[in-house]
Amino acid sequence: MMPELPEVETIRGQLEKLIVGKKIKEVKVGLPKMVKLPLGKFRKIIIGSTIKDVSRRAKILIFELSNGQSILTHLKLSGRLIFRKKGESIQPEDAKWNHLIYYFTDNSRLFHNDLRQFGYVKLVETCGLEDFFKKEKLGPEPLEKEFTFGEFSAILERKPKAKTKQFLMDQQNIAGIGNIYSDEILFFAGIHPLRKIANLKPTEIRKIFNGIKKILVKATKLQGSSINLYLNALGREGKYVPKLNVYGREGEKCSRCGAIIKRVKIGGRSAHFCPKCQPVRQVVHTLISLHAR
């Protein structure tokens, strides 16, 4: 699964401590398609620059450089960014997937590892980042103080026909939530993933909002969910998987009520849910109420 907000934020926080202030001495690119500009130009711009800051927007990491440029890195499905100090090596089984390596003047390195090769790196002028992300039409950051219940309710009102699962995963609605945490948020709120936005009660909207805040914060504190290939910037697994209530647990008993967790396909993606805690009758009621209108 693609790293979501908790995983990317974990990597951001670690790299902020590990690489800010370091000067790039060299860069090796083993997979040219990963870098979305000519390699000669990429090397010329970043070599000799210093990392000023590491930030995040949605699932994209931003390395601000001292020369007015920023490196934008999207890990996509299987990307990793693993830091190693001088003398430390990366796991041999991962070495063949190291498509991009940054070498710093203190002989530490940052490996961009990507098994499935869907990730990318772009260069954008730092002063143009705001315009760049406007074009991406990304929704608000759910963990920012500015993301209030009022703003969340207003966004919901614009998408009355959307199913709750798809709404939460749409990056134009809210940034950073994907398949894993949309399932967990809806379980927390007791909402079936097929439930339409138009039929949500104010109390249910509040539960979803609270779930977004609570689950994303907790998952970030535990450094994310190591499902599939995710590792943090130190090459270690996150610790949130044991806390997952429904995602990836099809056929297992619900920890809350004992019912069997089920899975349903929505727009080509899987949604995991508890049929008792997130009753399907909500969906039927939704269809009836919409038809009545």
Active site residues: 3-4, 59, 269
Which residue from 209, 211, 232 is spatially nearest to 222, judged by alpha carbons?
A: 232
Q: Where are the alpha helices (DSSP H) in 37-95?
A: 39-46, 92-95
Q: Is 68 left (phi over 0), alpha (psi -120 to 50) or beta?
A: left
Residue matched to tokens 């020369």: 67
Which residue from 28, 65, 62, 29 is spatially nearest to 46, judged by alpha carbons?
A: 65
Tell me the C-alpha distance between 38 and 7, whole Å: 29
Q: Are 114 and 75 in contact (CB under 8 A)?
A: yes
Which residue from 152, 154, 190, 151 is spatially nearest to 168, judged by alpha carbons?
A: 152
Q: Are 228 and 78 in contact (CB under 8 A)?
A: yes
Determine the length of the chain: 293
